Structure 1
Amino acid sequence: MVQLTQGIEYFLSGFSLITQKGLKRFVFIPLLINILLFGSSLFFLYDWLIQGFDYLNNLLPSWLSWLEWLMWPIAIMVILFSYSMVFTVITNFIAAPFNGLLSEKVELHLTGQKINDDSLADLLKDVPRMLGREWTKLCYYLPRALGFFILLWILPLVGQILWVMFTCWMYTVQYNDYPFDNHKIHFKQMKDDLKSKQGLSYGFGFAVFVLTSIPIVNLIVMPVAVCGATRLWVDNYRTNYR
């Protein structure tokens, strides 16, 4: 229980870190990417749902029109449990180089020690590796997400509980991977480290999950989570690799 609370606190600490002098300019690009992609995709998703329900209503006889009121909550539930995570994976794939840089600068802010050179050439050199790491996370996520999504329809209650737990875990993997990857730590080793402190991991992931489900607030979750995850890394894992 203590670790769960600490995990939540680490995420929340990201809100203060994004306002720190010297870090704010590195927050801007990930924040802008999140706002543009999340805002536009929500608009198209809502429009798609409206059109889909209109089409379905035209197929249903009038005496079954009440089904629309049943289907809307189901549709919203599915979106909350799946869309936010899928979108986060895609967005972080695009923003990976900037999130990695933000994490690097947060670690410098917290420890006073550089990880890499500050040159543009050094950053560009690392971009293919960062994108490869995002691809590894995507390959890890997709088959498991498909399995849990199928279970969601077969055993709704059990499926929802497991889906939430899996989503919390994936948020932890997604954002804690940035400081681990900055130190060239293998993806499997990173997962093993996170599993060694599951309370901390699930507490952090749960906080991300909750705030990602809140409109407007979810637009700033990505840079906040990167900052919070970097503090979590510094306090709990960094000394293991020095």
Structure 2
Amino acid sequence: MLNNPTTNTPLSGINYLLKGAKLLSHPKLRFFVLIPLMINIVIFASAFWFLFSAVSEWIQGYMAALPDWLSWITYLFWPFLIFSILVSFSFIFSTVANLIAAPFNGLLAEKTESLLIGEAINDDGMMDLMKDLPRIFKRELQKWVYFLPRLLVCALLFLIPGFGQTIAPFIWFIFSGWMMAIQYADFPFDNHKIPFAEMKKVLAGRLGKNLTFGMLISFFTTLPIINFVIMPIAVCGATAFWVDIYKQELLFTSKQVAIEE
């Protein structure tokens, strides 16, 4: 047993990511890391090949659309715009990777939780996983229904001259952090059949930790080589977050509701 969830002190967002990196190399998890890792490598290698072949032309076009009175910030704005494009593409392709790898990420979260608490979560085999695929992909669809309208609002900011174009990269980065927090926290939450709406409410209760966790994931998905391994690291880190904090909170809440009834 690596942890006692009743005595653990909650960590910061960055420490949970570091904990996920440490768990990644555990012998009992290596097999379950392999498939998500291979999916991530293929998706991100393809994405970054396409991105770096087109990014310069996109940035020049965006800069040309800025009003003349903002021309003085052009050189300052370049790094933020490049970073915003990297974050945008990283989020899109990490979402695609997560959609494809969702069943395996859920299994990795399950095995990570079992390792952390020192007991089996369930004894489902591969056939049970296959039977559960419709529910897993339905859950992924729920995330997209939540994300998409908000993504469109962020995208529209890039089209508003002046103020909108100036603040859009910063708003996009913050929101992408929130989306990443939801994306990876959902695996351990969904393993315990916690409804999506309830999960969002619980995560919002620790917004600072979750934003830090999610924004770090967003940042690392923009870095070559590291972006290959960030998905399984984030799954393990989010599961440690669940074990240390949310599992006990939700169990306590469930017991209180049962007593009141």
Give CA deviations for 1:120-161 in whole Å, capped at 9, x if unaligned.
122112211111111111111111111011113321232222
C-alpha distance in structure 1 between counterparts of 2:191 and 2:182, whole Å: 14
Of 91, 96, 101, the residue aligned with 1:90 is 96
TM-fit CA distance, 1:73: 6.3
Residues 113 and 240, structure 2, Cα contact 8 Å, conserved in 1: yes
TM-fit CA distance, 1:47: 3.5
Corresponding residue for residue 210 of structure 2:
201
Q: Does 2:30 align with 1:24?
A: yes
**Secondary structure of residue in 2 paired with 1:175:** helix
Corresponding residue for residue 141 of structure 2:
135
Q: After the TM superposition, which residues 12-161 of structure 1 pair with which residues of structure 2 at under 5 Å, given as runs? A: 12-49=18-55, 76-154=82-160, 155-161=164-170
C-alpha distance in structure 1 between counterparts of 2:132 and 2:14, whole Å: 30
Structure 2 residues not aligned, in runs of 5+: 1-9, 62-73, 252-261
C-alpha distance in structure 1 between counterparts of 2:213 and 2:79, whole Å: 27
Residues 153 and 159, structure 1, Cα contact 8 Å, conserved in 2: no
TM-fit CA distance, 1:44: 2.8
Q: Does 2:197 align with 1:191?
A: no
Of the structure 1 ranges 198-207 and 39-48, higher mean CA displacement relative to structure 2 is found in: 39-48
Give CA deviations for 1:14-64 in whole Å, capped at 9, x if unaligned.
1110100110110010000000111022223333557x67xx9xxxxxxxx
Residues 87 and 173, structure 2, Cα contact 8 Å, conserved in 1: yes
TM-score under structure 2 length normalisation = 0.79
Residues 81 and 169, structure 2, Cα contact 8 Å, conserved in 1: no
After superposition, the Cα gap between the structure-2 partners of 1:158 and 1:48, relative to the gap in structure 1 and judged at 3 Å, is: closer
Of the structure 1 ranges 217-226 and 109-118, higher mean CA displacement relative to structure 2 is found in: 109-118
TM-fit CA distance, 1:79: 1.9
Corresponding residue for residue 258 of structure 2:
none
Give CA deviations for 1:141-182 in whole Å, capped at 9, x if unaligned.
111111011113321232222111101100100000000000
Q: Give the number of aligned pairs.
A: 225
After superposition, the Cα gap between the structure-2 partners of 1:39 and 1:76, relative to the gap in structure 1 and judged at 3 Å, is: same
TM-fit CA distance, 1:203: 1.4
CA-based RMSD: 2.4
C-alpha distance in structure 2 between counterparts of 1:44 and 1:209, whole Å: 19
**Secondary structure of residue in 1 paired with 2:223:** coil
Of the structure 1 ranges 101-110 and 38-47, higher mean CA displacement relative to structure 2 is found in: 38-47
TM-score under structure 1 length normalisation = 0.85
Residues 14 and 226, structure 1, Cα contact 8 Å, conserved in 2: yes
Corresponding residue for residue 226 of structure 1:
235
After superposition, the Cα gap between the structure-2 partners of 1:75 and 1:202, relative to the gap in structure 1 and judged at 3 Å, is: closer
C-alpha distance in structure 2 between counterparts of 1:157 and 1:47, whole Å: 25
After superposition, the Cα gap between the structure-2 partners of 1:227 and 1:95, relative to the gap in structure 1 and judged at 3 Å, is: same
Residues 115 and 183, structure 1, Cα contact 8 Å, conserved in 2: no
